[in-house]
Structure 1
């Protein structure tokens, strides 16, 4: 198991390294080569979320019914490599356009829908529910470390060799991820239902993951804590390129360096989360606090102004600190859902979350682009962050109360189980 977890870490780390090159290259291509507006950059960002909204629930049901998730993930990696390589060739021959970039977002979003659900199904298959928090933290730390290195290299690579070289790096990283999956030795078999009847029932019950978030008051409040910051982050991500390149006037060659601190903060948050969220500890309050922290620290981004070094430092903190809080929140959220969602519906539960996040990202990206064109980039950032803080502030007290109620229920259940075991022993 340890060997396969190490390979999984290597594959995910390589994939994260390559994805950073595409994430940085696309706004550079759109803004500097194709003359895109903030609204068009928003459309490019939104394109990747559409498949998750339309197909996310079915993808979750499919993930729960796939008996060999690793084999399916390997195939999806190969398809992703082919899609990115095709756009790299289009850039190389000068035929790429805004439509090409939107098309890449759609394809990556489509493949990512199923990959996102299978990621947790496969991880739980490898390590079990008890160890998933620390292992998830380790995987996330590797991803942030790879992203850190990628952000340091992406700008110079684009400046020296062109955006097609950055996309080619991403395509190669998908191939490395596929090789890591291929090298694993543990059985590739999940607890998915194996009969056709059970599979059809799983598809008809695809919306069960959404119903989970409508159940307990904590899960309903948690949903708002997820949605409001995610919308603000998506809008801010859409506006970050125009803000740094057009408002702060950051040179393209050092554009990626503004995100270097994000990698450091992500690694720090992941390591801290792995220690904070060991088995037996309640992660619910941690999720709530960290989502609020990510929003408050995001306010440093629109503050960036003045001399270029000072503006870049302020923007880097505005990009990095939300990643620190987000890294802890992501690990804590996985721990919460692994505890609260039954194993047989893990794929559907994660798919429901992915659908919610995709819809939120779509709304946030479009709102960010629209507000950027209407109000200006800096003002749009303030509006997005302020609206999200109002939402989490309104539901915060109820969320904390519900989290404490769930914790008390869990402790009572543990006490009852211990009493039953003592009685049986006597």
Structure 2
């Protein structure tokens, strides 16, 4: 490529992607997102097709992946803030996850793959993912200036939305060509790629926090003392709980009561990923038009509200498909408004010394309610009917906005300047 051609490409690239450290960070995140989506499909398929698990065993496999966030998020956040050197911890987590994941195709090739190994791998990969994620929030703000938090979150979440579109399709193809366990080699390579890129950046990270009394619970206390963060975590927990009530029954309802085939259902669910891409594209514009706080408020409604179209779907099949497609597509847009807006606001409100611990507190609450929501969905669906439970879940998710309305968040037009610099300024 000529010098003029390189200049033209550079001009078209978003400003952050013209900065080599962030570009490497974003490239590693993008690869991991795609690898994770392949694994999301390949692990349960390996359990079903190779190990012939039943419904109970599949439930335990899902639980094994969810438990680490509930059990270890607080401890991981405290450890990360107290130790510092978060980038090195993320590299170690990536390499550890790669080693664990590659053990599945190796055991399969040798004829020794067992369900116990699958449980162990999923649990340990989930544990290392907790460590990676609580460190990641600090690394992000070490690479991105406060005025670019929305743009940085837009790029990262845009990659995540794109992985939702392409990842399952690639995963399904790989499972057909290679067999489910061997498809996990893709996720192994994505972890190695991420580790390699992280090793090639050297941002200035916040110094480690001094261990003192209350170090372990400081993140929870900071959230509890901040009206804005307290509202965000309570609202997100409410949305997550009802969202998992909903999705515990969505596939059953679509197949058994609406009569959709697996292929048709896959296309419908893909609409949510396309909506996520659109949402990632428009969120920055929405923030500039109405402000960061109102965007978060809009996301709390726009993410769960469209899902009410699912239990309302009925009549001719084209109308049913239109309702389901609209629900997933519009919900995907709302999810990006919520994730990008809330993630940027949290980055601005949390002081550097507490970032990992506050992230751990958020993860413990938000991820902890997910298995509870899935369990409640099954119980409510069996007691009151699947369709009625889906309607309750869609409406219940909207109630999350009630935590945020009386907080300072709706009145925030801009990201709080310098709020991440210390607890006092983030206590709004």
TM-score, normalized by length of structure 1? 0.81
Which residue matches 2:21? Answer: 4
State how far apart, in whole Å, the 1-side matches of 2:295 and 2:270 are.
25
Which residue matches 1:417? Answer: none
SS of equivalent residue, structure 1 residue 130: helix
Which residue matches 1:68? Answer: 85
Which residue matches 1:222? Answer: 232
CA RMSD of aligned residues (A): 3.5
Which residue matches 2:131? Answer: 114
Offset at residue 134 of structure 1 (A):
0.9
- State yes or no: 1:150 paired with 2:159: no
**Alignment map for 1:333-348 (pairs within 5 Å):** 333-348=342-357
SS of equivalent residue, structure 2 residue 216: coil
Offset at residue 76 of structure 1 (A):
0.7
Q: Judge conservation of contact 2:234–2:400 (CA < 8 Å) in 1.
A: yes
Which residue matches 2:298? Answer: 289
Which residue matches 2:278? Answer: 268
Give 2:54's match in structure 1, choosing from 36, 45, 51: 36
Q: Judge conservation of contact 1:151–1:259 (CA < 8 Å) in 2.
A: no
Specify whether residues 251 and 162 from structure 1 end up closer, same or farther in structure 2 by C-alpha distance, changes over 3 A only. farther
Q: Judge conservation of contact 2:95–2:191 (CA < 8 Å) in 1.
A: yes
Q: Judge conservation of contact 2:228–2:409 (CA < 8 Å) in 1.
A: no
Specify whether residues 163 and 247 from structure 1 end up closer, same or farther in structure 2 by C-alpha distance, changes over 3 A only. farther
Which residue matches 2:366? Answer: 357
Q: Judge conservation of contact 2:290–2:413 (CA < 8 Å) in 1.
A: no
- State yes or no: 1:176 paired with 2:193: yes
- State yes or no: 1:165 paired with 2:182: yes
Which residue matches 1:206? Answer: 216
Q: Judge conservation of contact 2:86–2:139 (CA < 8 Å) in 1.
A: yes
Q: Judge conservation of contact 1:145–1:263 (CA < 8 Å) in 2.
A: yes
Runs of at least 5 residues in structure 2 that lack an aligned partner in the other structure: 1-15, 420-428
Q: Judge conservation of contact 1:42–1:369 (CA < 8 Å) in 2.
A: no
**Alignment map for 1:13-412 (pairs within 5 Å):** 13-29=30-46, 34-37=52-55, 41-91=58-108, 96=113, 99-184=116-201, 187-193=202-208, 198-201=209-212, 204-240=214-250, 242=252, 256-277=266-287, 282-303=291-312, 314-371=323-380, 378-389=387-398, 391-392=399-400, 395=402, 399-403=404-408, 407=412
State how far apart, in whole Å, the 1-side matches of 2:257 and 2:116 are.
25
Offset at residue 207 of structure 1 (A):
1.6
Q: Which moved more, 1:292-301 or 1:362-371?
A: 362-371
State how far apart, in whole Å, the 1-side matches of 2:92 and 2:395 are.
42
Deviation by residue 1:137-195 (Cα, 9 ceiling, x = unmatched): 111112222331113322233234322233222222112212221233xx3441123xx
Which residue matches 1:422? Answer: none
Offset at residue 304 of structure 1 (A):
5.7
Q: Which moved more, 1:231-240 or 1:243-252?
A: 243-252
Q: Which moved more, 1:311-320 or 1:133-142?
A: 311-320
State how far apart, in whole Å, the 2-side matches of 1:94 and 1:375 are.
45
State how far apart, in whole Å, the 1-side matches of 2:249 and 2:96 are.
29
TM-score, normalized by length of structure 2? 0.80
Offset at residue 316 of structure 1 (A):
4.4
Q: Judge conservation of contact 2:293–2:410 (CA < 8 Å) in 1.
A: no
| Number of residue-to-residue matches in the alignment | 401
Offset at residue 409 of structure 1 (A):
12
Offset at residue 262 of structure 1 (A):
2.6
Offset at residue 288 of structure 1 (A):
2.3
Offset at residue 104 of structure 1 (A):
3.4
Specify whether residues 73 and 218 from structure 1 end up closer, same or farther in structure 2 by C-alpha distance, changes over 3 A only. closer
Specify whether residues 164 and 305 from structure 1 end up closer, same or farther in structure 2 by C-alpha distance, changes over 3 A only. farther
SS of equivalent residue, structure 2 residue 225: coil
State how far apart, in whole Å, the 1-side matches of 2:250 and 2:151 are.
31
Specify whether residues 322 and 411 from structure 1 end up closer, same or farther in structure 2 by C-alpha distance, changes over 3 A only. closer
Specify whether residues 246 and 99 from structure 1 end up closer, same or farther in structure 2 by C-alpha distance, changes over 3 A only. farther
Runs of at least 5 residues in structure 1 that lack an aligned partner in the other structure: 415-426
SS of equivalent residue, structure 1 residue 277: helix
